[in-house]
Amino acid sequence: MTTSTKSTLTYFKWAFIVTVVGLLLGGYLGWQMTGTVSGTATIFFICAVLAVLEISLSFDNAIVNANKLKEMTPEWQHRFLTWGILIAVFGMRIVFPLLIVVVAANVGPWTAMVMAATEPDRYAQIMKDAHLPIAAFGGTFLMMVGLSFFFDHEKDIHWVRWVEEKIATYSSIKGIEIAFVLVIMLVFSRIIANSDDPALGPEAANVFFSAAIWGLLTFLLVEVLGGILDRSQQMLEGAAKGGFGAFLYLEVLDASFSFDGVIGAFALTSNLFIIAIGLGIGAMYVRSMTIMLVEKGTLAEYRYLEHGAFYAILILSVIMYVQSLFHIPEVITGLGGATLIGISLWSSIRYNKRERANEIEAGHAAKV
């Protein structure tokens, strides 16, 4: 793929448009709900904060998406960046919270929708009560994503060498990352079962372990199904790898990333529609960032950026596990991931400068 010459701002054109429309819609909702200028301003502000929350939590998501997208066929790249945004905004920010309430409260979809509109506090409480299985499922899936990157025998670029080189020596052992995740699941299940917290205990431990197993199975099934689908497409079309299987993988990955943001959003507001507006704005910036990373070849230019993203994913997965025991503010989650990516970017820039200096020195030596 040729490197794009488009300006950075061009990539965010639609994100800016969605921001304006979303914030205006948020202001309108605020006026309809409160009928006061201060109430309208508050809702407007919450939408803006939710957008920032989503962006800060999803820096690593954009980088991982870009890494997978560069392997996909142009047709499936386009489908992910069009269909995918609809699934990300409407599926994960509206349908997903509704489905949680449908399952948790054992009500119909329409009842859940009415509850979201007329009883937002009850709706928010059901969402918060469902946090334990969500954290277990999403944390397990993301942990497998992160570990699969590092336990890769073909990986030849190492950022934190003393860690990654040691991991690489064990990467040829089949299923080692699965065994590692299973041990972590068992440890957290035991901690939850023995906790003095009245909200935890043996029953909560069973819920946690069951959801974590489903997270692990989902990762493995998506990997297997993705491989089968992409191989079938390759045989039928003679296409490069990266078709529907890769698309499916990215959608499940997107869902796992958005769990934390959706649940965290209820700390700011219990109104599903305000949450959908704020997180939807943030999701547009994440998609725009993904397109820019792919077309500008940023991942190739900054060699450690991808490593920073996968370290951030591992930390996010651990945080989701720890949140099954006690609450960790979303600002810590977002800043932690952004800091790691920032450090990896700085390390990449330093590496590039050293390489250029060595090339110049080698050129001078050759002339002499």
- As a whole number, mean pLDDT of residues 258-269 equals 66
Q: Lowest mean pLDDT: which of 125-129, 233-237, 241-245? A: 233-237
Does the structure show a pLDDT above 80 at 107?
no
Tally of helices (H runs) and strands (E runs) in the chain: 17, 0
Cα–Cα dist 233/222, whole Å: 16
Task: Provide the percentage of residues in the chain whose pLDDT is more than 90.
Answer: 2
Tell me how far apart the alpha carbons of residues 314 and 316 are, in angstroms, rounded to a whole number.
5
Looking at residue 102, what is its pLDDT?
Answer: 76
> Cβ(310)–Cβ(341) under 8 Å?
no
Q: Check residue 183 and give its pLDDT.
A: 92
125, pLDDT greater than 80: no
**So what's the pLDDT on residue 228?**
67
SS3 198: coil
Helix (H) or strand (E) holding 333: helix 330-367
Place of tokens 């600002």: 331
> What pLDDT, on a 0 to 100 scale, did the predictor assign at position 334?
65
| pLDDT tops 50 at residue 236 | no
Q: Report the alpha-carbon distance of residue 128 to residue 123 in Å, rounded.
A: 9
Predicted confidence (pLDDT) per residue in 19-30, tens digit: 888 888 888 888
CB 180 within 8 A of CB 205: no
d(CA 308, CA 294): 17
Burial class for 46, CB neighbours closer than 10 Å (0-12, 13-18, 19+): buried
- What average pLDDT does this structure show over 116-142? 78
Rounded Cα distance between 229 and 348, Å, is 35
Best CA proximity match to 291, nearest among 108, 114, 129, 82: 82
CA distance 368 to 366: 5
Token pair 């529609």: residue: 273
> What is residue 182's predicted lDDT score, i.e. its pLDDT?
92
CA angle 45, 61, 314 (to 5 degrees): 110
| pLDDT per position as a tens digit, 156-214 | 777 877 887 788 777 777 788 889 899 999 999 999 888 887 777 888 889 889 888 98
Question: In this predicted structure, what is the pLDDT of residue 10?
Answer: 79
Concatenating the DSSP letter of every residue in 124-137 gives HHHHHHTHHHHHHH
How big is the chain, counted in residues? 368
Cα angle vertex 147, ends 143, 148, to 5°?
115
Pick from 40-49, 153-162, 346-355: least confident: 153-162
Range 239-243 average pLDDT: 52
The pLDDT value recorded for residue 239 is 45
Question: In whole angstroms, what is the distance from residue 165 CA to residue 154 CA?
Answer: 12
% residues pLDDT > 70 (the chain)? 79
What CA–CA distances, in Å, run from 196 to 193, 199, 201, 322, 325? 9, 9, 7, 16, 11
Contacts of 150 (CB under 8 A, 6+ apart): 164, 167, 168, 171, 310
The pTM score is 0.71
- Averaged over 77-88, what is the pLDDT? 73
pLDDT band, very low/low/confident/very high, at 260 (cuts 50, 70, 90): low
What is the model's pLDDT at position 240? 44
> Averaging pLDDT over each range in 201-210, 319-328, 338-347, which range is the top one?
201-210
* Residue 20 burial (10 A CB sphere; 0-12, 13-18, 19+): exposed
Please state, rounded to an integer, the average pLDDT across all residues of the chain.
76
Q: At what angle do helices 109-118 and 120-129 cross, to 10 degrees?
A: 120
Q: How far is CA 229 from CA 64, 71, 78, 222, in A?
A: 21, 15, 18, 10
pLDDT of 263 reads 64
